[in-house]
Structure 1
Amino acid sequence: MFAVLKTGGKQYKVQSGDVLRVEKLAADAGETVQFNEILMVGGTVGTPIVADAGVQAEVIEQIKGPKTINFVKRRRKHSSKRTKGHRQQLTLLRVTDILEKGADKSGVKAAIGAASAGAAVAAAPAPKKATKKAEPKAEAPAAAAPEGGDDLKKLSGVGPALEKKLLAAGVTTFAQIAAWTEADIAEFDEKLSFKGRIEREGWVEQAKELAKG
């Protein structure tokens, strides 16, 4: 029996025992993960996914893809050129089981992209600390209003539409963008359909300067 799964914006047709490379997952070697976005399993076609179906796989190791060269040239008053190499971070997997039903109750860890997991952690609010109640005779000082996210439109090429995409993905500050790795850039570029805009416009470098204030 075969299945068609979706991960990292790509589709893979797999059978039990197949070894495949996918966009890096937040999992260690030896762990078993489960893909829940199943577009087709056996003769069942999803609409768009097959409910309660899943594909389980064992993580063999975290690897890097072949090196690619990215050349950027800006035709402006102060023109610039940049050549940069990149090796995509990947996860090597071995498919162990294909579930037509019962995936929701299998208890196996869901396969999550490393960049998505990192963005979710960065966007998660810090836990609130327990505070002591003020005594009746003493007035508690007024708490400072929490600061909101940064104005991402200050980045070159980011307008209201792109800012909306970034906010929806949990990116709210320049500090988050400044901390992006090559894998994060590739993940957001594909997931939000930026078509190379992140590196072309130099968002990470700009974000580092803007984050300094």
Structure 2
Amino acid sequence: MFAVIKTGGKQYSVAADDTITVMSLAGEPGDAVTFDDVLMLAGEGEPTIGAPFIEGASVAGEIVEHKRGPKAISFKKRRRQNSKRKRGHRQDLTLVRITELLTGGAKPSGVGTAAE
């Protein structure tokens, strides 16, 4: 069984025990998170597609760590003008391990879940 969730303006296809990298989430490593914006659930039978989200469906996960993405460098040079500009950026990311996919309004089995 897998699901398609939406978080941080992006969509992710997840299954139980997957590890995904998403935009920075509030919380400490070891905290539980719940993604309520489930766009699609698929399993043995016919897939369920939300309009836009599936009522009562959620995905539970656990924050593994906070990290930063690779460095992106923006460099502009205007030749023969003695003008240049260099800027760098590293995106804040969160590593999340998906623990379970929930349907029918079921609550996560983990202790102390926080809504995302």
TM-score by length of 2: 0.82
Amino acid at match of 1:13: S
Partner of 1:83: 86
Which of 55, 62, 66 is 2:66 aligned to?
62
Aligned positions of 1:41-120 closer than 5 A: 41-42=41-42, 43-71=47-75, 81-102=84-105, 108-111=113-116
Q: Distance in 2 between the 1:47 and 1:73 partners?
A: 48
Identity across matched positions, percent: 50
Q: Report deviation, 1:34.
A: 0.2
Query: Helix, strand or coil: the match of 2:90?
Result: strand
Q: Distance in 2 between the 1:108 and 1:73 partners?
A: 49
Partner of 1:36: 36
Q: Report deviation, 1:52.
A: 1.4
Partner of 1:7: 7
Is the Cα contact below 8 Å between 2:31 and 2:113 reproduced in 1?
A: no
Q: Report deviation, 1:72.
A: 5.2
Which structure: larger Rg?
A: 1
Structure number having the greater helix percentage? 1
Partner of 1:145: none
Counterparts in 2 of 1:82 and 1:97: CA distance versus 1, 3 Å: same
Partner of 1:139: none
Superposition RMSD on alpha carbons, in Å? 2.0
Q: Distance in 2 between the 1:95 and 1:41 partners?
A: 14
Deviations 1:22-69 (A, max 9, x none): 000011100000001110012110001111111110000001111111
Q: Distance in 2 between the 1:101 and 1:46 partners?
A: 13
Q: Whose RCO is larger (CA < 8 A, sep 6+)?
A: 2
Q: Distance in 1 between the 2:26 and 2:74 partners?
A: 26
Structure number having the greater strand percentage? 2
Q: Report deviation, 1:98.
A: 0.4
Q: Distance in 2 between the 1:24 and 1:72 partners?
A: 29
Unaligned runs of 5+ in 2: none
Number of aligned positions between the proteins: 105
Q: Distance in 1 between the 2:77 and 2:61 partners?
A: 42
TM-score by length of 1: 0.46
Q: Distance in 1 between the 2:71 and 2:55 partners?
A: 38
Unaligned runs of 5+ in 1: 75-79, 112-213
